[in-house]
Amino acid sequence: MRYIKRFREYIEANGTKLEKFKKTKEFMWNEFYMKRAVEKAATHDSDLELFAIQKARELDWNNFKASESFFPAFKREHRISSRSNHCSLQQEYISPRTLSFTGESTTEVSVKRKNNLTHSYTLQPITSADGQLLSKFFLILQEKEKEFSTRVQKDLIVPPNVVVRASKSGKSSNEKHRTFLNDVLRPLVGRKFLLFLDCWTTQTDLKI
């Protein structure tokens, strides 16, 4: 009778602890496979933890607590490792790394809009020779018509230490660099100063 009672308790509790771990791991693998193999979504350790917690709640496993070795062991068991997808941060953030299948030759990650990876904002701060960040900086926002519409200008909040301009790509140009020099840099440093720049063509144009 005692075994029957215990068996009923196991059923009411959705199985033994070992069975719950097994169901949780199966759920984690199914969710991971769906995100990576089907959706091509970037996936991280935090996602595995959420999968485990979600399944534990479904099993009414309120005292679920994975050991430090649980997730590393799960990844080894299913040959999951951290991979690089070589994406950069633009308007849409795509993590430069994702968990994926060990040994795959190409790691792919889907994006919501491809255009968001090729168009960006440009931010130009200024630092002094002693490493201090100066109080004014230049911001270039992306606008289709290369300038802000009346509606945008009305709603745009610009702090006094920020000079904002627009360009079609969100990137700088000769004209924008001239604005940076005259409206941002000169008011901070005066007429005579030493400016260190990289070899970008626009910045090396002495006519500017």
pLDDT tens digit string along 13-44?
A: 556 788 888 999 999 999 999 988 888 888 88
- Bridge partners of 167, per DSSP, are 142
Neighbours of 64 (CB within 10 A): 16
Map residue 82 onto helix, strand or coil: strand
**Residue 21, Cβ neighbours under 10 Å: how many?**
19
> pLDDT for 162-208, tens place per residue?
999 888 877 788 888 888 888 988 888 877 778 777 677 777 776 65
User: How much is the pTM?
Assistant: 0.46
Name the residue ranges covered by the structural domains of the chain: 2-114, 119-204
For residues 82 and 96, give the distance between their C-alpha atoms in angstroms, rounded to a whole number.
10
Task: Specify the range with the lowest mean pLDDT, choosing from 38-47, 110-119, 160-169.
Answer: 110-119
- 3-state SS, residue 72: helix
CA angle 68, 35, 55 (to 5 degrees): 50
What string of DSSP letters covers 131-198?
A: SPBPS-EEEEEE-TTSS--HHHHHH----TTEEEEEESSS---HHHHHHIIIIIIHHHH-S-------
